[in-house]
Amino acid sequence: MPARPPAAEAAGERLARSLQYFKGVGPKRYELLERLLLRRVEDLLHFWPVDHKDRASLTPLARLRPGQEANVRAQVVDVQAKILYRAGKHRVEALLHDESGDGFAVWWSPYVLEKLDPGTWCFFSGKVVANKQGGVELSHPEFEILGKEDLGADLLTGAPAGEAARPAPPSTSEHPDFGRIVPVYSLRPRQRRPDGTEPPEVKLSQSVLRKLIWQALACGAPDDLAEALPEGLRGKRGLPPLPEAVRQFHFPKSFESRDRARRRLAYEELFMLALGMGLRREQVARRQTARKLPMGPNVRKRIEARLPFELTEAQRAALEEIAADLAQARPMNRLLQGDVGCGKTAVAVSAMLLAVAHGAQAALLAPTEVLAEQHARTLADLLKGSRVNVSLLRGQRAKKEREVFLAHLASGDLHIAVGTHALLGEDVKFKNLALVVVDEQHKFGVRQRMALRAKGAAPHVLVMTATPIPRTLGLTLYSDLDVTTITGFPPGRGEVVTRWVKEKDRTKVYELLIAEARKGHAAYVVLPRIEGDGIESEGGTGEKLWSEVKGVEDERKRLARHLPSLRIEALHGRMKAEEKDAVLARLREGRLDVLVSTLVVEVGIDLPTATVMLIENAERFGLAGLHQLRGRVGRSGLKSWCFFFGEAKTKDARERLKAFAKIKDGFEIAEEDFRLRGPGQFFGTEQSGLPELAVADLARDREILLHARDDAAELLKRDPDLRKPEYAELRRRIRRDFAQRLGLVDMG
C-alpha cells in the first residue's frame, strides 16, 4: 500500500481534530458539546442549523423608529426591575448605550434580570415601540450576551473596560454573531433518554456554538470533506460543491445562497437514502429463493368458496397482483394499502390460503394483541370445517400452551400462525414459512421486515396498512416495496356522520346512545388515557365540570351512574389478557352497550353492530388515529355516527379537528396529517430503521426527493453494484450508513 501523501494526512487531521483543543473549550464545555455529539471538527461541520436570522444590518440606538424590527448592538448600562403588583407582572428595563447614544429595552419577565449585568455587551433583536415618555424602546427583544470574551484584545481598540473609558464595541465584520445572516442551532440532544422523554437543552449559548463552527470553517476543514455526489449529477441538478454548501449553510452570504446550500445537502441525504433502498430492493429481488405459489383455477375456486362474500372488483384486482408475485421465485415485497374497512384483510386471507393450498405455512402479524386475537377468530370462523389449522401465539400465554404452539409450528401441523411481534422471537421456528402478512405496518419498519426475512428461506412478504402513506414518505421509507392500492369499499357500508360536538350537546349525544342501544347496537367511548387528571366537580347547578384529560376508569364509572340503563364496560392496555378477552367476548355477543376504552380499539376491531363512536379529548389524538377510530363504526349497512368532543387550544389542534370533521377519505387524511405534523412525528425513525434526515424535510422537499429518486434509479440501472471507481465514495457511505440497517449484503 503506498504511503499517503502528507497533504492527505494533514487533511484527515483537520477533520479529526478534537474540540478539546479549541480556543474557549475547557473540560466543562467539552462535556456539554459531547452531549450534542460534538467531539471533532467534522462533527461541527455537520451540525446543521435549524434556522437562520437576518442580522446583516445594525441600527444605531439613536435611529430606532417605532414599528421597526431592529438589530442593535449595545452595552448594558443599568438594569432595573419593577413589580407591577396590580398587574401581577414584572417589568424589567435595561438602559443601553452604543456609539450613537442611549436607548431602552423592556421585558415583562424577571428572568432577564439574572442574565443582564451592567457592563456587558449584547446583541438585541426585536420590535421597536413607542413608550409613554415619548421615546422608543425595544420591546421584548431577543438578546445574546456577547460576553466578556468578546471584548478580547483582538476585538477591541485596546482601551480597558470601566466607567471612565467605555470600551469600543466589538468589530462587526468578522463576528459570527452579528452583522450577517446568523445560524441558529438546536441545543436539544438527539438521543432520547432511557424513559423515552426528550432530554433538556444543553446549556450552551448560540454564540458559543457559532464561534466554534466559525473556527471550524475558517481552518479550511470543509475542503477536506469527501465529495460523494458524482460531478455529473451535481452539474445536472445545479448543486454547489460540498465545501461551499457546508460554508454557506452555516454562514450564508445571502438567503438565496443558504437555500442553494440546503438544497444540495437535502438532495445528498435523499439520494443516499434512495440509493440504499434501491440496492435493498435489487438485492431482495435477485434472491431467487422464495417458494413459487401459483394460483391455478382449482385453488382459486376453493379459496373463493371459503369467503362468505364475493370479492369486489378492487379486491380481485389486488389479489391478482399479489398472486402474480407469489408465482415467482423472487420473494414478494408488497404493500397493500387502502382505507379502513376497504377489505384488505379478506385479500390477505386469500393469499394465505393460497400458501396453505401449496402445503406451506403463512404467518399473520398484528400490532396489538387485541387485533391478533380478532384476526385469529376471523380466520378460525372462515376455516371452520376445513383442514387448515390456525393458532394464536400470545406473549402472556402460559408456558405449556406456548410449547404446544411452537411444536406444532415446527412440525408443520400448524398452517397459519397469528400473533404480535412475539412471532418474531428467535425461538419461534417454522417448518416451511412461505408467506408473511403484516397488518397495520406503520408499526413495523424496515428493521422488522428484515427480522421476518430471517425466518424463512426468504418468505414472500405482504404488508397492509390502513394508514395510507403520504406519497413522499412512501417514496422513502417504503421505496423498497411494490404498492397495491384498494380503492372504494365493499357494498353495504353505512354512512358515518361525523360531528364536532360541544358540551351543551352532551345530553343529546347520550340520548342517541340510549336509542341505539335499544336497537341492539353498540357504542364506543374513547379517551386518551387510562387514568385521567380530570377534576369532576359538582357545582351548585348539579352540572359536572371537567377539566383537562379524561381517563377510562373514571369515565366508565361516571357513565355507569349517568346512564344506568346501559351495560357499560372498560377496556385498556393495563388489563390482563383474560379480562380483555372476556370484555371483547361480551361485546361481540351483544351483552354490552358501551365500551369505554383507550386507543386499543384504534386498529381493526370489527363489530358490525357498532354504530356510535364517541371520542373525548379529541384534541389529544392525531388525525390518522381519529380516522382509524371512525373506521370502527359503519362497518355494516347501519347508519353510524362519530361524535367528538375536543377543545382546540392551539391553532394546530383546531386545524386538525376541523380537518377530521370535514375529510372522509383516508388518503386525504394522511396527506393532511403529514402536512400538519411534519414527517418527524409521522413515523418514528427509530421504528423505521432508517437514519434520521438531518437536513431534508419530506413535507417540503418533495421535488428534491423526486429528483434524487430518479437519479438513484438511473445510476443503479447503469451500475447495479456501484462498482465504478467514480462511485467509490458513494459505496463507502452506503456501507457506513445503510448496509447494516437495510440488511444489504456484499457491500464490502
Give residues in contact with ligand ADP (CB under 6 A). 309-312, 315, 338, 340-346, 466, 490, 606, 635
- The option from Mg ion, ligand ADP, none interacting with 179 (CB < 5 to 8 A, set by class) reads none
Place of cell 423472487: 330
Query: Please, are residues 383 and 350 in contact by the beta-carbon 8 Å criterion?
Result: no
- The option from Mg ion, ligand ADP, none interacting with 60 (CB < 5 to 8 A, set by class) reads none
- The option from ligand ADP, Mg ion, none interacting with 331 (CB < 5 to 8 A, set by class) reads none
- The option from ligand ADP, Mg ion, none interacting with 311 (CB < 5 to 8 A, set by class) reads ligand ADP
Length of the chain: 748
Distance CA 460, CA 435 (A): 5
For residue 447, the minimal CB distance to ligand ADP (Å) is 24
How is residue 90 written as a grid cell?
Answer: 414584572
CA dihedral 317, 323, 325, 326 (to 10 degrees): 160
For residue 69, the minimal CB distance to Mg ion (Å) is 52
- The full DSSP string for 725-742 is GGGHHHHHHHHHHTTTTT
For residue 391, the minimal CB distance to ligand ADP (Å) is 20
Q: Which is nearer to Mg ion, 243 or 490 (CB)?
A: 490
Please choose, from the candidates 372, 346, 484, 452, the residue with its C-alpha nearest in 3D space to the C-alpha of residue 689. Answer: 452
For residue 439, the minimal CB distance to ligand ADP (Å) is 7
Site membership for Mg ion, residue 59 (CB under 5 A): no
Residues 187-206 that bind Mg ion (CB under 5 A): none
For residue 619, the minimal CB distance to ligand ADP (Å) is 26
Q: Which is nearer to ligand ADP, 222 or 341 (CB)?
A: 341
Q: Which stretch binds Mg ion (CB under 5 A): 247-255, 321-329, 361-369, 598-606?
A: 598-606
Q: Which is nearer to ligand ADP, 366 or 712 (CB)?
A: 366
For residue 382, the minimal CB distance to Mg ion (Å) is 14
- The option from Mg ion, ligand ADP, none interacting with 346 (CB < 5 to 8 A, set by class) reads ligand ADP
Q: Which is nearer to Mg ion, 11 or 416 (CB)?
A: 416
Q: Which is nearer to ligand ADP, 15 or 348 (CB)?
A: 348
- The option from ligand ADP, Mg ion, none interacting with 207 (CB < 5 to 8 A, set by class) reads none
Q: Which is nearer to ligand ADP, 276 or 338 (CB)?
A: 338
For residue 668, the minimal CB distance to ligand ADP (Å) is 17
For residue 475, the minimal CB distance to Mg ion (Å) is 24
- The option from Mg ion, ligand ADP, none interacting with 484 (CB < 5 to 8 A, set by class) reads none
Q: Which is nearer to ligand ADP, 147 or 490 (CB)?
A: 490
- The option from Mg ion, ligand ADP, none interacting with 606 (CB < 5 to 8 A, set by class) reads ligand ADP
Q: Which is nearer to ligand ADP, 278 or 343 (CB)?
A: 343
Distance CA 173, CA 371 (A): 63
- The option from ligand ADP, Mg ion, none interacting with 526 (CB < 5 to 8 A, set by class) reads none
Please choose, from the candidates 203, 149, 219, 201, the residue with its C-alpha nearest in 3D space to the C-alpha of residue 177. Answer: 149
Q: Which is nearer to Mg ion, 445 or 604 (CB)?
A: 604
Q: Which is nearer to ligand ADP, 311 or 388 (CB)?
A: 311
What sign results for the dihedral spanned by CA atoms 742, 745, 747, 748? positive
- The option from Mg ion, ligand ADP, none interacting with 710 (CB < 5 to 8 A, set by class) reads none
Please choose, from the candidates 149, 713, 158, 745, the residue with its C-alpha nearest in 3D space to the C-alpha of residue 479. Answer: 713
With CB under 5 A as the contact rule, the residue among 179, 278, 604, 625 that binds Mg ion is 604
Distance CA 665, CA 677 (A): 18
Q: Which stretch binds Mg ion (CB under 5 A): 341-349, 477-485, 660-668, 680-688?
A: 341-349
- The option from ligand ADP, Mg ion, none interacting with 715 (CB < 5 to 8 A, set by class) reads none
Distance CA 602, CA 623 (A): 12
What sign results for the dihedral spanned by CA atoms 191, 196, 198, 204? negative
Distances (CA, A) of 100 to 59, 133, 193: 10, 20, 49
- The option from Mg ion, ligand ADP, none interacting with 304 (CB < 5 to 8 A, set by class) reads none
- The option from ligand ADP, Mg ion, none interacting with 505 (CB < 5 to 8 A, set by class) reads none
Distance CA 387, CA 685 (A): 42
Q: Which is nearer to ligand ADP, 274 or 363 (CB)?
A: 363
Place of cell 346512564: 563
What burial class does residue 655 get, using C-beta atoms within 10 Å of its C-beta: 0-12 exposed, 13-18 middle, 19+ buried? middle
For residue 670, the minimal CB distance to ligand ADP (Å) is 15
Site membership for Mg ion, residue 631 (CB under 5 A): no
Q: Which is nearer to Mg ion, 494 or 691 (CB)?
A: 494
For residue 338, the minimal CB distance to ligand ADP (Å) is 6
Contacts of residue 666, defined as CB under 8 A and 6 or more positions apart, other chains included, come to 338, 339, 340, 466, 467, 468, 627
- The option from Mg ion, ligand ADP, none interacting with 103 (CB < 5 to 8 A, set by class) reads none
For residue 344, the minimal CB distance to ligand ADP (Å) is 3
Distance CA 546, CA 116 (A): 43
Q: Which is nearer to ligand ADP, 151 or 633 (CB)?
A: 633
Distance CA 225, CA 8 (A): 11
Q: Which is nearer to Mg ion, 284 or 371 (CB)?
A: 371
For residue 604, the minimal CB distance to Mg ion (Å) is 5
Find the distance separating the first CA and the last CA of the chain, reported in whole Å.
18
Distance CA 92, CA 105 (A): 8
How is residue 508 written as a grid cell?
Answer: 343529546
Distance CA 210, CA 175 (A): 9
Q: Which stretch binds Mg ion (CB under 5 A): 27-35, 338-346, 484-492, 669-677?
A: 338-346
Site membership for Mg ion, residue 345 (CB under 5 A): yes
Per-state percent for the chain, helix, strand, coil, to nearest 5: 40, 20, 40
Q: Which is nearer to Mg ion, 206 or 345 (CB)?
A: 345
- The option from Mg ion, ligand ADP, none interacting with 655 (CB < 5 to 8 A, set by class) reads none
For residue 379, the minimal CB distance to ligand ADP (Å) is 12
Q: Which is nearer to Mg ion, 439 or 673 (CB)?
A: 439
For residue 466, the minimal CB distance to Mg ion (Å) is 6
Distance CA 601, CA 611 (A): 14
Distance CA 302, CA 383 (A): 11
- The option from Mg ion, ligand ADP, none interacting with 341 (CB < 5 to 8 A, set by class) reads ligand ADP
Longest dimension (CA), the chain: 102
The pairing of beta strand 136-145 with beta strand 361-365: unpaired
The DSSP letter of residue 158 is S
How many residues lie near Mg ion (CB under 5 A)?
2
Distances (CA, A) of 368 to 154, 373, 576: 64, 9, 14
For residue 367, the minimal CB distance to ligand ADP (Å) is 13
- The full DSSP string for 41-104 is HHHHHT---SEEEEE-----GGG--TT-EEEEEEEEEEEEEEEETTTTEEEEEEEEEETTEEEE
For residue 373, the minimal CB distance to ligand ADP (Å) is 14
Residue 286 CA, distance from chain mean position: 31
Q: Which stretch binds Mg ion (CB under 5 A): 378-386, 596-604, 608-616, 716-724?
A: 596-604
Strand, helix or coil for residue 353: helix
Binding site for Mg ion (CB under 5 A): 345, 604
